[in-house]
C-alpha cells in the first residue's frame, strides 16, 4: 500500500511539473496585455512585492530609476488610441532553475509604426505553483539607430 501511495504521489508531482509553462510565455502574455491595454492581465502578471526599474543615463551618469507598477499599468491601460504603441521583441535569453527564471530580451519600440527607441528588458520571474509572476522588471532605453 505504501508503494502504491508513493507511486501515485510521484505521478501527481510529475504531472504537475509538466504543467509549468515556459517562462517566456508569461512575457509574451505580458506584452499582449501591454499592446491591448489590458490592466487586469498586466496587474496579474506582477507579484505583490514586484519591483520595476529603469537603468538610464542622465548628464553622463548612470542612474537607476524606481518605477511605480500601478502608475505603469495605469499609463498603459489609459493611453489614447493614437499613437499606437508597439514593442517588438528580439530573441530572448531564458534561464531557469526550478521555480526561478530570468528572461533577457532586446526590444525596439515604435509609435504609429515609426521607430522611437530600443533597449533591453530583463525580467525575473517566480513560479508560484499556478503561474509565473514578475518579481523584478528592469529595462534600458536608448536612441539606437532605426532599422
pLDDT in tens, 99-117: 999 999 999 999 999 999 9
Give the model's confidence band at 11: pLDDT under 50 very low, under 70 low, under 90 confident, else very high: very low
Q: Give me the architecture of the 21-140 domain, per CATH.
A: Roll (3.10)
Q: Is residue 120 reached through a cis peptide bond, with omega within 30 degrees of 0 on the bond before it?
A: no
Q: Which of 57, 51, 53, 52 is nearest to 65 (CA)?
A: 53
pLDDT in tens, 38-63: 999 999 999 999 999 999 988 989 99
The span from the CA of 105 to the CA of 121, in Å, is 5
Instruction: Specify the pTM.
Output: 0.83
Q: What 8-state DSSP symbol labels residue 129?
A: S
pLDDT the model gives residue 67: 95
Domain ranges (residues) in the chain: 21-140
What are the C-alpha distances in Å from 26 to residues 104, 111, 132? 13, 24, 6
Q: Do 122 and 104 meet the contact criterion of CB atoms below 8 Å apart? A: yes
Q: Which tops the pLDDT comparison, 76 or 20? A: 76
Amino acid at each position: 500500500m505504501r508503494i502504491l501511495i508513493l507511486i501515485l504521489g510521484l505521478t501527481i508531482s510529475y504531472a504537475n511539473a509538466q504543467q509549468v509553462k515556459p517562462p517566456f510565455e508569461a512575457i509574451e502574455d505580458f506584452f499582449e496585455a501591454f499592446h491591448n491595454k489590458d490592466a487586469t492581465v498586466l496587474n496579474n502578471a506582477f507579484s505583490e512585492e514586484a519591483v520595476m526599474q529603469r537603468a538610464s543615463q542622465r548628464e553622463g551618469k548612470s542612474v537607476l530609476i524606481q518605477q511605480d507598477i500601478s502608475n505603469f499599468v495605469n499609463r498603459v491601460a489609459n493611453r489614447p488610441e493614437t499613437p499606437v504603441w508597439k514593442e517588438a521583441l528580439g530573441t530572448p535569453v531564458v534561464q531557469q532553475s526550478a521555480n526561478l527564471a530570468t528572461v533577457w530580451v532586446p526590444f525596439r519600440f515604435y509609435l504609429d509604426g515609426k521607430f522611437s527607441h530600443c533597449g533591453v528588458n530583463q525580467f525575473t520571474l517566480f513560479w508560484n505553483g499556478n503561474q509565473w509572476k514578475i518579481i523584478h522588471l528592469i529595462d534600458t532605453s536608448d536612441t539606437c539607430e532605426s532599422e
